[in-house]
Amino acid sequence: MQIIHLDDTNEFTPGQMKRFFLVENSPNFKIINFNLDAGVTFPVHSHDLDGELSILVLDGEGFFLGANDAEIPANSGDLLVSQISEPHGVRAKTKMRILVTITPPI
């Protein structure tokens, strides 16, 4: 069992995205905390793999991004779930903290 204090990863880099690996090398899943400064985009991308991912907005507001310039409003507490092969990304309107879960891990 492991407890992770997400408040310990509440750091931002001006104009950039900061990444914290919360669970590494798990055979079942990976959890990553990304902190995006206001206006920063985590570019739309996909992975040519079978599996799923979730993106949970911990704090802030912005948009979940997808194929064909899709934008879905994303606010604190919102959770996106998709196939990992489906295009996905995030754009921060305000400072935004997201928690990404990937299974199986890549």
From 87, 103, 91, select the one nearest 47 (Cα to Cα): 87
All domains of the chain in start order, with CATH: 15-103 (2.60.120.10)
Question: Among 47, 45, 1, which Cα is nearest to 23's?
Answer: 1
Amino acid of residue 27: P
pTM listed for this prediction: 0.92
Yes or no: say if 30 and 102 are a contact pair by the CB < 8 Å rule: yes
pLDDT tens for the chain, 106 residues long, are: 888 888 888 899 999 999 887 776 688 888 999 999 999 999 999 999 999 999 999 999 999 999 999 999 999 999 999 999 999 999 999 999 999 999 988 7
User: 22 near 4, Cβ under 8 Å?
Assistant: yes
